[in-house]
């Protein structure tokens, strides 16, 4: 399901004339960070509507990266969750 969304977002982005490739990945990753920063600002201003929009923008940017680079995000998330399930309680945090 996420792979389909990724493909659709990448297709839409391409139709709008923008590019995503390995060579401009630093820019694309910083755009993800920017969307999260905007979500933080919305949170600080208690603007739930804008917060939700910025979270959606974050996912759109991440899906574009996945769709553009051919990342099987469905499989990657499943594999990573299996790794995470094997970690101890509060992995990396002091109790």
Identify the CATH assignment for 2-85 out of 3.30.450.20, 1.10.287.1080, 3.30.1540.10, 3.30.420.240.
Answer: 1.10.287.1080
How far, CA to CA in Å, does 80 sit from each of 11, 24, 73, 91, 94? 26, 25, 10, 14, 22
**Residue extents of the structural domains in the chain:** 2-85
Predicted pLDDT of residue 94: 73
Predicted pLDDT of residue 90: 85
Judged against a pLDDT cut of 90, whether residue 95 lies above it is answered with no
Judged against a pLDDT cut of 70, whether residue 31 lies above it is answered with yes
Confidence of residue 62 (pLDDT cuts 50, 70, 90): very high
pTM of the model: 0.89
Helices 2-15/73-85 angle, 10° precision:
140
Cβ-Cβ contacts under 8 Å for 36 (sequence gap 6 or more) = 54, 58
């Amino acid at each position: 399901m996420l792979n389909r969304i990724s493909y659709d977002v990448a297709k839409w982005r391409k139709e709008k004339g923008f590019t995503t490739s390995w060579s401009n990945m630093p820019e694309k990753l910083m755009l993800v960070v920017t969307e999260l920063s905007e979500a933080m600002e919305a949170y600080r201003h208690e603007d739930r509507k804008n917060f939700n929009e910025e979270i959606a923008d974050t996912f759109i940017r991440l899906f574009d990266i996945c769709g553009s680079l051919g990342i099987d995000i469905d499989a990657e998330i499943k594999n990573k969750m299996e790794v995470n399930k094997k970690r101890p309680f509060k992995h990396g945090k002091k109790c």
